[in-house]
Amino acid sequence: MSDAIREFLSRGSFAVVGATNKRDRYGYAIFKNLLARGYRVYAVHPTLDSIEGEKVYPSLSELPEKVEAVDVVVNPSVTEKVVEECHKLGIRYVWMQPGAESKAAIDFCENNGIVCIHDTCVMHHSL
């Protein structure tokens, strides 16, 4: 396991941007997987109120606390906006799920001191 993955998974609080209530989508599976593993995790989706009783927040800026790490499960153009929001909020760990990454988002992270993991799924790794 890489040091970046170990660092990401050892954070105390997470947000899943792109969490969804659609059970056949990765945004649902990843959110539920992190919860089941005992992480403190927040769901972020601009149009949902809750996922199976868990409150959903419209953006990272509206979370009740600053999270330490963000898992992104959205299209690449949205990921590019999310990493900018992470930078503004001082969030230093971002995991871009396969299909969410773009060269621009990865470059932004690397140029702004954000640890960026991509090309692998968070559900395939544990501490």
pLDDT per position as a tens digit, 9-24: 899 899 999 999 999 9
DSSP state of 99: T
| Integer Cα distance of 55 and 44 in angstroms | 9
Q: What is the reported pTM?
A: 0.93
Q: What's the distance, Cα to Cα, between the start and end of the chain in Å?
A: 9
In sign, the C-alpha dihedral spanning 118, 112, 70, 26 is: negative
Q: Can you state the angle between helices 103-111 and 76-89, rounded to 10 degrees?
A: 10
Mean pLDDT of the chain: 94
- Condensed to tens digits (0 to 9), the pLDDT of residues 107-124 reads 999 999 999 999 998 888
- Condensed to tens digits (0 to 9), the pLDDT of residues 21-50 reads 999 999 999 999 999 999 999 999 999 999
